[in-house]
Structure 1
Amino acid sequence: MSNKEIHLRHKRQRKALRIVLSFVGALVLATAIAFAVAYKNVRNTVNAMYAPATMQNKGRNLNSILSQKQALNVMLVGVDSHKSAQAVLLLNLDPKSNTTKATAVDSAKAVYNEKGVSSAAKAVSSKTNSPVDAYLTINVDGLEKSINRENGVVVNGKRMNGEQAVSYMKVQSESERDEHILTVLTALLKESASVSTLFNNSFLNSLGDEVQTNLNASQLSKIATGYAHAAENVNTNRID
C-alpha cells in the first residue's frame, strides 16, 4: 500500500471518528436537555405541593437526618374531598433495617380538622412520644386518576383500578381504614418507582393536586433514593 493510500485511509478513519463523536455528543446533549426539562417539571409540581408548617421535631435537623439516612418520622394524613381527615398515621421510616412502623393516632383526626397540620403534629408527637419531622397530606378521594395512570395497583395480591382502590380505602370500619389507606398508598409508590413514571409530568400534575407537604424537592428526592426499601416491611399499630 502506497503512502498516498495510507494517508487517504487515515483521513477516512478520522472523518468517521469525528462523525461518531459528533453523534455521541449530540446524544449526550439531548439526554441532558431531556433530564433538565424533566427535573424542571418535577420541581414545578413539588413547588405546588409545598406548604410549610411547624413540626414537633425537638430540634432535629431534617436535612441532616436525610443526608445521614437516619430513621425519619413523617405524619401521613389521608383526607377526603372536603379536606376532612380520614386517617392520621405516624410513619417511622428506617432505611437501616428496611422497615416502616405505621402508628394510627385516632384522636389526631379531630385535632387536624379543627386546628390544622401543626396542631395535629403536636398531638401525634404527644401521643406517640416521638418527634414529627415532616408531614404529607393526600386526598384519597382524588387518587383514582393517578392510580389509573399506573394501570392500577396491586393490593393483597389483587390488581385494583382507581375506583376499586378508592373504594377499598373508604371502608366504614375505622380500625381498617387507616391500614387500607396505607396499603394503597404504599402500593402506588411501588408502582411509581420507575424513573420514566417519576418524571412523567401528567402523572405528577395529577398527584400534585392531591398532595400537600412541607418537604421540598431536594428532600423528597433524598427520601425517594435513600428510604425506598423501608416500605418493604410495614408494621402497623393503633393508639387513641
Structure 2
Amino acid sequence: MAHRRSQYYQDEYFEDEEQQEETDFRRVKHKPPHHRLKGCFFWFLLVTVVICIFGGRYVYHKYQAAHTAVTQFHKETGIKKARDTSQVLKSGKPVSILLLGTDTGALGRSYKGRTDTLVLVVLNPNKKAMTLVSLPRDTKVAVSGHESDYPSKLNAAYAYDGSASAMKTVQKYLNVPVDYYATINMGGLENLINGVGGVDVTPSLTFSYGGYSFSKGQKVHMNGKKALAYVRMRYTDPRGDYGRQERQRQVLMATALKAVSAKNLLNEQFLQTFSKQITSDLTFNNILLLAAKYRKATHHMNSTNLQGQSQMLDGQSFEVPTEDEKQRVTDLLRSALELTPAQTGSTLNSSDQISIN
C-alpha cells in the first residue's frame, strides 16, 4: 500500500509524451554539470527576490499598492521554523530562502503539480555574497511526515503537503535551517514574459517542441507560450536536463533584463499580475527588511549543485548523491549562513532536530 501511495504522488501527472521521452533518455549518459545551476525556474524565482531587494525605495513610496500585492501572495506554511526567522532578518544575519518552481498553470495543468525546481539561496550581507545550491528534483529522500513511502523523489514533497513538506524535507536532508520559501508556477513565467512584451533569445540548439521550432544560432522573438516550449524540452536535448537549464537561464535572464528596464516594472498593474503567480511566507515587513539590510548580498554570487548518480529503483530513476557530496553542500551552506560545521542530515533520521548554531 505504501508503495502504491508513493507511486501515485510521483507519477500521476506525467504526460504520455514525457513518459516516452524519459524512457529514451534513460539510455543517455549524463555529463557533469560543471557547477551549472540546476532547476527549471529558479532564475525567475531568484529575480523575484532580487527585485524585492533592489525595489526597496519604490516599495516605500508606493506603500499601499505594494502592501496589497504582497498580502495577496503571502501564505504561511503552518510549520514551526527551525529558528526565529524574524529576528534573523531584524539583526541582518544570513538568511536562507528555498525557491520552488512548479509545473502548475502551464500547458493546461490546474493540479498542484510537482516542483521542477528546488534551489536553496543564502543571502549573506556581511560577506556581500549570495550562495545558490540547486537540488536535483529526483533526489532520493524520505518526505517529511511521509517516511513510510520511502523512497520518494524530492520533487514529490510538494505534492504531499505543499511548500511545508518541501521545506522540512530539504532542511532535514542537509541539516541546514530553511528560513523562508518562494513558489511560482510555469504559468506565471508565461504571463511575465507576455507582460514585458516577449523576449529575444538565440537558441542554443535546433529542435521542435510544443508546436514550435527553434534553430540554433538564429535569434527569435518569443512570446510566453513559445518561450515556455523552448525552456521545457528536456529529453531530446543531448545534454539532458543540464541543457534545459541553460535554455531556462537564457529566457529568464532576458526577461529580467527587459523587465528592469521597463518604466512600469513595479507599477500597480504589474504587481497585481505578479501576485497571482507567486506564493511566499515573506511578509511585507520581511521584504522591507530585505531591501534595507540585504542589498549588498547580491554583489557576489557563488553557485553550485548537489550532484548525484542515477539509480533505478522499482522502475524509477533516482539521483543519489554520496555522503561526501552531501557533506560538501552542507558545509558550503552552513558556512554561508555563518553557522558552525555540522554533519549532513538524513531524511530517515527519526529526529527532526536541525543544528542552528
- 1:103 pairs with 2:134: yes
CA contact (8 A) 2:89 2:290 kept: yes
**In the alignment, is residue 137 of structure 1 matched against residue 168 of structure 2?**
no
Is 2:154 aligned against 1:92? no
Quote the offset at 1:128 in angstroms.
2.1
Note the residue ranges of structure 1 that are not aligned, 5 or more in a row. 1-33
Q: Which residue of 2 aligns with 1:204?
A: 271
Residue 94 of structure 1 contacts residue 227 of structure 1 at CA under 8 Å; is this kept in 2? yes
Contact 2:193 2:223 in 1 (8 A): yes
> Shift of the alpha carbon at 1:162?
3.2
**Conservation of the 8 A alpha-carbon contact between 2:188 and 2:278:** no
Distance, in Å, in 1 between the alignment partners of 2:80 and 2:256 is 26
**TM-score, normalised relative to structure 2:** 0.48
Contact 1:134 1:213 in 2 (8 A): yes
Deviation per CA, 1:20-66: give whole Å up to 9, x if none: xxxxxxxxxxxxxx98883211111111101101457422x222322
2:224 match: 162
Q: How many residues align?
A: 206
Partner residue, 2:70: 46
Checking the alignment, whether the CA contact within 8 Å between 1:105 and 1:127 is kept in structure 2 is no
Q: Which residue of 2 aligns with 1:223?
A: 290
- Paired residues of 1:87 and 1:177 also in contact (CA < 8 A): no
The 5 A counterparts of 1:4-23 are none
Q: CA, structure 1 residues 35+181, in 2 after alignment: closer, same or farther (shift >3 Å)?
A: closer
- The answer (yes or no) to whether the contact 1:56–1:125 under 8 Å persists in 2 is no
In the alignment, residue 97 of structure 1 is paired with which amino acid?
A: K
Identify the residue that residue 167 of structure 2 maps to in structure 1: 121
Give the whole-Å Cα distance in 2 for the aligned partners of 1:137 and 1:170: 18
* SS of 1:130 mapped into structure 2: coil
Distance 1:169 1:217 in 2: 31
Larger radius of gyration: 1
TM normalised by structure 1 equals 0.69
Distance 1:209 1:181, change over 3 A: farther
User: Which among 79, 87, 101 is matched to residue 102 of structure 2?
Assistant: 79
Q: Distance in 2 between matches of 1:48 and 1:42?
A: 10
Q: Unaligned regions of 5+ residues in structure 2, if any?
A: 1-57, 106-110, 138-152, 204-218, 235-239, 308-318, 320-357
Q: Percent identity?
A: 28
Matched residue, 1:238: 306
What is the CA distance between 1:110 and its match in structure 2?
Answer: 0.6
Per-residue CA distance 1:126-168 (angstroms, 9 max, x = gap): 2222111001110122322322333456879988653454234
Task: Measure, in 2, the Cα distance between the counterparts of 1:160 and 1:138.
Answer: 20
C-alpha distance 229-160 of structure 1, shift in aligned 2 (>3 A): farther
What secondary structure sits across from 1:116 in the alignment?
helix
Contact kept? 1:105, 1:124, Cα under 8 Å: no
SS of equivalent to 1:236? strand
State which drifts further: 128-137 or 90-99: 90-99
SS in 1 for 2:62: helix
| CA deviation string 1:51-100 (max 9, x = no partner) | 101457422x2223223332221111111223312222212222333223
Q: Is the 8 A contact 1:139 1:211 kept in 2?
A: yes
CA contact (8 A) 1:74 1:134 kept: yes
